[in-house]
Chains A and B, each alone.
Chain A
Amino acid sequence: MLLHVIIWRIIDGYRGITLIVLTSLVAIVFTYYVLADYILGQPLPGILMTAPLFYCLIMLYSHFYVGVLKSVSIRIIEELYGSENFSMNRGQIDEIYSSEEMIISRLMLLENMEWIMKENGKYKCLNKAIFTVRINIFLHKIYRLNNTG
């Protein structure tokens, strides 16, 4: 956690899940081979024996991190908390979440990642998007999902 905070305070820009996993792996190796073995002199059980527990903790933490960072619901609660009397009207919430801005930024991201392309002002799916969407539609059927998104 300490390493995570230090790295996040130093580095700007990309700070996604891959960096969290790398940070966690460095922390695990440090705990095992420097802290336990070298500094404390009390070796821990084999690293492979405790690896599942570490994976589980990394996964739990990643969920917490992404949840806090990306959740629309948490952001709405934060905005309400920061407002007068902890209340807002629909118009103010719509201002925070401009639907147009939200869609356009996501379309730009999808275009940059080559999931979609723009042709004559219209967006079209590229091959990897078509493949993923077909799987998605199949999953909607088997899970009987009617209201997704």
Chain B
Amino acid sequence: MHAILLSIILSLLIPIFHIALIAIFRKEGLHIKLMFVAFLLYISTDIIIKFAYYYDLQEFYLYLINSISISIFTSLFYMEAFSMVARGFSMRIITDIYLNSSLDSSGVIKEYAGGKGIEWMLNKRLKGIQSLGFISEKGEIIKISSKSAIYIAKVSLFYKSILKLGRGG
């Protein structure tokens, strides 16, 4: 139980590492990569501490599996929270409404993301999957450019059909 509590307490290191790395590198677009570096640092610290304090115990490997599970759990939780702050659609809408005091629906479309507009969001998503090599863009035409993208589409469509999830997105 102590090992689990220690992993939870140590998870406070994730935002500390992340913010420190962002402050050190000061480069736009590195936030996600630095978040994974912060996870790696946290999980490594956690494992080192567990080896130092619990290695002699009989059920050490059970403690270690639990610690790694908790580390992954807290990392995923942090990833979700950071994603909401950095990419959250609803969060951005209420932030824009707050910053402009009040907005009608066309104002929300126009002022989305501090005045960049909703088209910017769609372009950002397209650039994201383009940078992963899943799609390519030639002029106006956007095309699937890797087998991985085809597998993703097949798995996703199959998953949605067995769970009756509709089209999603």
Contacts and interface: CB of A to CB of B under 8 A. Distances in A.
A125 B95 CA distance: 9
Contacts of A68: 156, 159-160, 165, 168
- Chain A contact residues: over half helix, strand or loop, or mixed? helix
A86 B154 CA distance: 13
Nearest to B149: A77
A42 interface: no
A116 B94 contact: yes
A14 interface: no
A45 B19 CA distance: 39
B142 A123 contact: no
Contacts of B105: 100, 103-104, 107, 123
A88 B144 CA distance: 9
A140 B98 CA distance: 15
Nearest to B129: A73
Contacts of B23: 144
A71 B113 CA distance: 19
B76 A124 contact: no
Query: Could you say which interface size class chain A belongs to?
Result: 35 or more
Interface string A102-114: 1110110110000
Interface string A88-110: 11110110010110111011011
Interface residues of B, number: 79
A41 interface: no
A81 B148 CA distance: 11
Nearest to A130: B98
Interface in B113-169: 113, 116, 118-122, 124-126, 128-129, 134-135, 140-144, 149-150, 152-154, 156-157, 159-160, 162-165, 167-169
Closest 9 CB pairs of A and B: A75-B169, A149-B92, A81-B153, A149-B113, A87-B143, A56-B69, A86-B144, A99-B118, A52-B69
Interface of B: 1, 4, 18-19, 22-23, 26, 28, 31, 62, 65-67, 69-70, 72-73, 76-77, 79-80, 82, 85-95, 97-98, 101-105, 107-109, 112-113, 116, 118-122, 124-126, 128-129, 134-135, 140-144, 149-150, 152-154, 156-157, 159-160, 162-165, 167-169
24 contacts: A4-B163, A8-B163, A52-B4, A59-B73, A59-B77, A63-B79, A73-B129, A75-B169, A76-B169, A78-B156, A81-B157, A94-B122, A97-B169, A100-B109, A103-B108, A104-B105, A122-B103, A123-B108, A124-B97, A132-B94, A133-B91, A143-B85, A146-B28, A148-B113
